[in-house]
Amino acid sequence: MARKWWQDAVIYQIYPRSFQDSNGDGIGDLEGICSRLGYLKDLGVDAIWLSPFYKSPMKDFGYDVSDYCSVDPIFGTLADFDRLLEDTHKRGIKLIIDLVPNHTSDQHPWFVESRAGRDSPKRDWYIWRDPAPDGGPPNNWMSFFGGPAWTFDAQTGQYYLHQFLPEQPDLNWRNPEVRAAMYDVMRFWLRRGVDGFRVDVMWLLVEDALFRDEPENPHWQPGMWDRGRHLHIYTEDQPETHEIVREMRQVLDEFDGDRMMVGEIYLPYEQLIPYYGTPERPGCHLPFNFHLITRGLSNWTAENLRRIVEEYQASLPAWATPNWVLGNHDQHRLASRIGHAQARVAAMMLFTLPGSPTWYYGDEIGMVDGDIPPEKVQDPAALRQRGLAGDQGLDPGRDPERTPMQWTPFTYAGFSTVEPWLPVNPDYPERNVETQDADPESMLTLVRTLLVVRRETPGLREAPYESYKAPKGVFAYLRGRVVLAALNFTAEPKTLAVPPGEILLSTYLDRYGAVESTLELRPNEGVILRLQ
């Protein structure tokens, strides 16, 4: 079967608020993204994923949608979206948009109608329950953003479920009308021509039908994250979820042109891989593999990374497409987690592993976490935790990884002409696209070159992964016995026995040429070798 575009596509995630402001209100927008397509083409990405730009009260910065078939005026208009899509396609780049099916905004007309009365025709579109006998929430389920996952509605005397903010009520996916409505939303955008969806919290779409309490987590301690109190056997990864994923797949397959979905799923491999479905009944094209983030960044050693990669390779069925991620808008910045030298090694690993990698905007210039003063914190998750804790709290939540893209060494880093919604990182005079573009050894040059090498080296995109023996501190692997990646995860020099070959790229961007039988790796160096 011919390879599909998404089987080795480099997906670039844009957080629209923070990429480029075009109209001087300090918030990024679609027009701004349009103006930066040339940059993305030069960078060499195959697809763009846009975080939500739909009409929204912005309680969770767009992950609280009040109209799925519109563009919020902050970001532009539907006509702007159509132009962005057209311009993206003209450049040979695919466009994937965010689908947020688990919950709506509490301002969505569906919820307004649902909460209007117990006999509302849309009552059952959301999850309403009577209070417990003591008047409290119906069970012990906790929200991801702190506190109970239930909010009482005094007017109708019942609680509604929300896995996130109270302003993000969960839809009832057991209701066929809800399914039909969301599939029509998908069709709306597919007809406009989008290439697919990144599906928000795919593993949370359904909860236990009996609303049983979740068991205590024996490892939880006071002071830890609220939601960590329980083991989530009734609010995550319920069996019916796979039916829904299958139905979403069928909607995508109604359209020609290889439309696809990538699903947000934070689960161990044995629970993650079933989201691919089976060859006869395929499900999600790319269930996000977050293990490099969740298990890798906190223990950044060659041995741990080899384990993460090889466990995945071993458990993935041959027909399923692997995928890898190192950052997104919910995770602290790559360079802040592992340092700039290792971020270069990480990029080389990401773009030489088999399958489809996803890259977070700004990581290509090594953007670091912003330092957000407590009074400037915007992230609703952080603010809610703070409110619940009854203190000022210092945790800036997810703001640090959402600061404006750094384009130039000039005012507001070229992101905007006015003060942006989140402070520009003060390192922008040195760390920005313009400066790194002119520097032959910058992180930006490395990422761009890695993507050239990835495109132009037979084997790197499609050949199978094969483990390669390496000394402690080095992770090495072959791709189809024609390419060898050797990655030094330490600050010490290392030596590796290799077959004769030619250096295609070093993360230092300063050496090429023949290698006989030994490869000397400098501290924090990764090398791609083409074997003879």
Choose the contact partner of 23 out of ligand NOJ, Ca ion, none; CB within 5 to 8 A by kind: Ca ion
Name the catalytic one among 72, 264, 399, 401: 264
Handedness of CA 403, 406, 412, 418 (dihedral sign): negative
**Rule CB under 5 A: is residue 27 a binding residue for Ca ion?**
yes
Is 200 catalytic? The answer is yes
Nearer to ligand NOJ, 185 or 453 (CB): 185
Q: Which residue has the tokens 């090495």?
A: 476
Cα separation of 491 and 441, whole Å?
19
29 binds, among Ca ion, ligand NOJ, none (CB under 5 to 8 A by kind): Ca ion
Is residue 399 near ligand NOJ by the rule CB under 6 A?
no
Question: Segment 337-396, which members bind ligand NOJ (CB under 6 A)?
Answer: none
Instruction: Give me the least distance between CB of 142 and ligand NOJ, in Å please.
Output: 15
CA distance 127 to 401: 32
Q: Pick from Ca ion, ligand NOJ, none: which does 407 bind, CB < 5 to 8 A by kind? A: none
**Minimal CB distance to Ca ion: which residue?**
29
Can you read off the two tokens belonging to residue 76? Answer: 């532009």
Binding residue for ligand NOJ, selected from 12, 54, 63, 159, defined by CB under 6 A: 63
- Residue 506 CB, shortest distance to ligand NOJ, in Å, is 34
Q: How far is the CB of 360 from ligand NOJ (least distance, A)?
A: 12
Supply 133's token pair. Answer: 């006998």
Asked if 329 interacts with ligand NOJ (CB under 6 A), we say yes
Instruction: Calculate the CA dihedral of residues 329, 331, 332, 335 and round it to 10 degrees.
Output: -90
80 contacts Ca ion (rule: CB under 5 A): no
Which residues, in sequence order, are bridge partners of residue 513?
A: 503
Q: State the minimum distance, in angstroms, from the CB of residue 56 to ligand NOJ.
A: 11
Nearer to ligand NOJ, 59 or 530 (CB): 59
Phi, psi angles (nearest 5°) of residue 11: -100, 130
Cβ contacts of 254 within 8 Å, gap of 6 or more: 187, 190
Q: Is 21 in the site for Ca ion (CB under 5 A)?
A: yes
164 binds ligand NOJ (CB under 6 A): yes
Q: Which of 27, 182, 201, 309 binds ligand NOJ (CB under 6 A)?
A: 201
Q: How far is the CB of 401 from Ca ion (least distance, A)?
A: 20
Place of tokens 């991620």: 325
How far is Cα 285 from Cα 249, in angstroms, rounded to an integer? 8
Asked whether the beta carbons of 516 and 500 are under 8 A apart, the reply is yes
Identify which of 201, 193, 197 has the alpha carbon closest to the alpha carbon of residue 248.
197
Residue 502 main-chain phi, psi, to 5 deg: -130, 130
106 binds Ca ion (CB under 5 A): no
Q: Which residue in the list 64, 200, 237, 379 is annotated as catalytic?
A: 200
Question: In whole angstroms, what is the distance from residue 363 CA to residue 447 CA?
Answer: 9
354 sits in the region (left: phi over 0; alpha: psi -120 to 50; else beta) called: beta
x/- mask, ligand NOJ, residues 94-123, rule CB under 6 A, reads: ------x-----------------------
Residue 21 contact among Ca ion, ligand NOJ, none, beta carbon within 5 to 8 Å by kind: Ca ion
- Interface of this chain with ligand NOJ, residues 260 to 289, rule: CB under 6 A: 264
Q: How many CB atoms lie within 10 A of CB 495?
A: 12
Kindly tell me which of 40 and 265 has the beta carbon lying closer to ligand NOJ.
265
Residue with tokens 């969740």: 294
Number of residues that bind ligand NOJ (CB under 6 A): 9
Exactly one of 200, 207, 236, 401 binds ligand NOJ (CB under 6 A); that residue is 200
Nearer Cβ to Ca ion (73/135): 73
Smallest gap from residue 13 Cβ to ligand NOJ (A): 10
- Please state, in angstroms and rounded to a whole number, the distance separating the CA atoms of residues 96 and 257: 13
Can you tell me which of 25, 124, 243, 310 binds Ca ion, judged by CB under 5 A? 25
As measured in angstroms, the least distance from the Cβ of 35 to Ca ion is 12
* Closest distance to ligand NOJ from the beta carbon of 318 (Å): 30
Site for Ca ion in 412-451 (CB under 5 A): none
Instruction: Report what 60 binds from ligand NOJ, Ca ion, none; CB cut-off 5-8 Å by kind.
Output: ligand NOJ
Is residue 16 within 8 A of residue 53, CB to CB? The reply is: yes
Enclosing H/E stretch for 307: helix 302-315
Closest distance to Ca ion from the beta carbon of 402 (Å): 15
Cβ–Cβ < 8 Å for 329, 13? yes
Contacts of 391 (CB under 8 A, 6+ apart): none
Residue 60 vs 369, nearer CB to ligand NOJ: 60
Paired strand residues for 358: 11, 325
> Measured from the CB atom, is 29 or 214 closer to Ca ion?
29
Q: Which one of ligand NOJ, Ca ion, none is in contact with 401 (Cβ closer than 5 to 8 A by kind)? A: none
What six digits make up the tokens of 59?
A: 């309680």
Q: How many CB atoms lie within 10 A of CB 317?
A: 9
Q: What is the 8-class DSSP label of residue 67?
A: B
Two tokens, residue 229: 């109190």
Positions touching ligand NOJ (CB under 6 A) are 60, 63, 100, 164, 200-201, 264, 329-330
- For the annotated catalytic residues, the residue numbers are 200, 264
Binding residues (CB under 5 A) for Ca ion: these are: 21, 23, 25, 27, 29
